Amino acid sequence: DQQVKQNSPSLSVQEGRISILNCDYTNSMFDYFLWYKKYPAEGPTFLISISSIKDKNEDGRFTVFLNKSAKHLSLHIVPSQPGDSAVYFCAASAGNQFYFGTGTSLTVIP
Amino acid sequence: DGGITQSPKYLFRKEGQNVTLSCEQNLNHDAMYWYRQDPGQGLRLIYYSQIVNDFQKGDIAEGYSVSREKKESFPLTVTSAQKNPTAFYLCASSLPPAGVGGYTFGSGTRLTVV
């Protein structure tokens, strides 16, 4: 059973526009949520996080929104740049273990 | 620079052979993890260790074994009992609780059975 789901396997966006990546979860005990960015043949790198006591966290072009009632998490990238093209994983933790979604491959078209 | 080193980057194994993937970290993290990535399935937890000489099975531990004799090292052995070992393997570490700072990942090892 997948506790963290990313239902869109891929997304294409024009350079300069907004990219919105979505993530849903089922476990109400998750207390921390992260987004990771991954290039092919490399390990994921941390992008941005949010605690369950907040509903928004912003870091430069990246903003994460958390809707606890809907058990939904989203990552907004504004403006999108070609270098943002990668696979994005959302992850949720309860204790010392993270549960990962299946990833969304973002392509930013110049 | 502190980080996690996985070696080798690419590994080929004949069917029926055991193979060990190396993971070393110099971040002074207590917890270490092994994940497997398959296309369309995200990252699945194989084993994790929160302290030296202790480790727990993850969701897909069958056919794998680990050891944690030193804080810095968490090698993963893929045994001949693992039916579909071809995958991309990722090692990670964290300061507990992992939620605060997340994981630091290594660059991965791609294992191919030939």
Query: Strand runs (DSSP E) across A1-110, as ranges?
Result: 4-5, 10-14, 19-25, 32-38, 45-51, 56-59, 62-67, 72-77, 86-94, 97-100, 104-109
Which amino acid is present at B13? R
pLDDT above 70 as % of chain B: 93
A97 and B40: CB-CB below 8 Å? no
Amino acid identity for residue B80 in this structure: S
Give pLDDT tens digits for B70-110.
999 999 999 988 889 999 999 999 887 666 668 899 999 99
Residues of B in contact with A97 (CB under 8 A): 33, 45, 48, 58, 98
When pLDDT is cut at 50, 70 and 90, the band that residue A1 belongs to is: low
CA distance A52 to chain B (A): 10
| Distance to chain A for B17, nearest Cα, Å | 24
Highest mean pLDDT of the ranges A5-19, B36-50, B95-109: A5-19
Count Cβ–Cβ pairs < 8 Å, chain A vs chain B.
Answer: 70
Integer CA distances (angstroms), B25 to A73, B73, B91, in order: 31, 7, 10
State mean pLDDT over B22-28. Answer: 95
**What's the pLDDT band for A2 if we cut at 50, 70, 90?**
confident
Of B58, B100, B105, the CB nearest to A43: B105
* B75 near A CB under 8 A: no
B13 Cα to chain A: minimum distance (Å)? 18
What's the confidence (pLDDT) of residue B16?
86
- Distances from the Cα of B2 to the Cα of A61, B5, B54, B72, angstroms: 27, 10, 23, 11
Nearest CA to A36 among A82, A80, A108, A92? Answer: A92
Helix (H) or strand (E) holding B101: helix B98-101
